[in-house]
Amino acid sequence: MNPMLNIAIRAARKAGNVIAKSYERRDDIQTSAKGPNDYVTNVDKAAEAVIIETIRASYPDHTIVTEESGALEGQNSDIQWVIDPLDGTTNFIKGFPHFSVSIAIRVKGRTEVGVVYDPIKNELFTAVRGEGAKFNELRLRVPERRDLQGAVLTTGFPFKQPKFMPIQFAMMSALSAEAADFRRTGSAALDLCYVAAGRVDGFFEMGLKAWDIAAGELIAREAGALACDFNAGHQFLKEGHIVVASPRVVKAILSLIQPCLGNEFNA
Give the helix/strand (H/E) hosting 11: helix 3-24
**pTM exceeds 0.85, yes or no:** yes
Tell me: is residue 181 an annotated ligand-binding position. Answer: no
- What is the CATH code of the structural domain delimited by 3-139? 3.30.540.10
Residue-level pLDDT, tens digit, the chain, 267 residues: 689 999 999 999 999 999 999 888 877 888 877 777 666 778 889 999 999 999 999 999 999 998 877 788 888 889 999 999 999 999 998 999 999 999 999 999 999 999 999 999 999 999 999 999 999 989 999 999 989 999 999 999 998 888 899 999 999 999 999 999 999 999 999 999 999 999 999 999 999 999 999 999 999 999 999 999 999 999 999 999 999 999 999 999 999 999 999 776 654
* Residue ranges, CATH 3.40.190.80, the chain: 152-265
Fold of domain 152-265:
D-Maltodextrin-Binding Protein; domain 2 (3.40.190)
* Residue ranges, CATH 3.30.540.10, the chain: 3-139
d(C-alpha 248, C-alpha 224), whole Å: 12
Radius of gyration of the chain, Cα coordinates, nearest whole angstrom: 18
Q: What are residue 225's phi and psi, to 5 degrees?
A: -80, 165
d(C-alpha 205, C-alpha 43), whole Å: 26
Tell me: is residue 84 an annotated ligand-binding position. Answer: yes
Tell me: is residue 44 an annotated ligand-binding position. Answer: no
